[in-house]
Amino acid sequence: MKKDMVILIAEDDAGHFQLIKKNLWLSCTEYDILQFKDGQQVLDFLFKNRRMYLEEKKQYILLLDIRMPKVDGLEVLRRIKADEKLRSIPVMMLTTTSEVSMVEQCYELQCSFYIVKPVDYHHFMETVQNLGEFLSLGGIRMPSIGKMKN
């Protein structure tokens, strides 16, 4: 079941993306990891030609930055959770923004979890490793997106 999990990462900072990918891979070795450089790219992937990109059998999870060019993470979250099919995709915020109002807003919009990127490099790595170990738990179950129309 694990092999069917795809981790989507929306992250405009190339350095952050590398760090996230590298540290997730320490535990999530069997998962596919896809990068999107801004909010528009991830929306295109999810909303345009869904049948082409999204596979019913696979399970997706999105790690979402907030401050990104073109479309910000908050809007991406809002669009996903307003879509009848895509709303089941777990979205975890992974951002430098730590304002309480932003945390509240994201949970209101039904993000699964909100994680603040630590400024310190080693803490950042450790945080992503903790996330990776959680996502690779043998007992974790994710929803499938079901049949895609479009």
Partner 1 sequence: MTKDVVILVGEDDEGHFELIRKNLLRAGVSNEMHRLANGQEILDFFLTMSKRPKQKHNGQKYILLLDIRIPKVDGVEVLEKIKQDKIFLKLPVIILTVADGPHTIEQCYNLGCNTYIVKPTEHEDFEETIQKIGRFLSVVEVASVK
Q: Where do contacts with partner 1 occur on this chain (CB under 8 A)?
A: 88, 90, 98, 100, 103-104, 107-108, 110, 112-116, 127, 130-131, 133-134, 137-144
Distance of CA 59 to the CA centre of its chain: 12
Beta carbon of residue 76, minimum distance to partner 1 (angstroms, whole number): 18
Say which amino acid occupies 88.
S
Least separation in angstroms between CB 108 and partner 1 = 6
Q: Report the residue number, 2 or 90, with the smaller CB distance to partner 1.
A: 90
Min dist CB 40 to partner 1, Å, is 26
Distance CA 75, CA 99 (A): 17
Task: Answer yes or no: are the C-beta atoms of 79 and 42 closer than 8 Å.
Answer: no
Specify the residue, 46 or 131, whose C-beta has the smaller distance to partner 1: 131
Distance, in Å, from the CA atom of 50 to the CA atom of 147, rounded to the nearest integer, reads: 10
Nearest-approach distance from CB 41 to partner 1, in angstroms: 25
Q: Toward partner 1, which CB reaches closer, 38 or 61?
A: 61
DSSP letter assigned to residue 118: P
d(CA 40, CA 68): 9
Written as one letter, the residue type at 44 is D
Compare residues 70 and 123 and give the one whose CB is closer to partner 1: 123
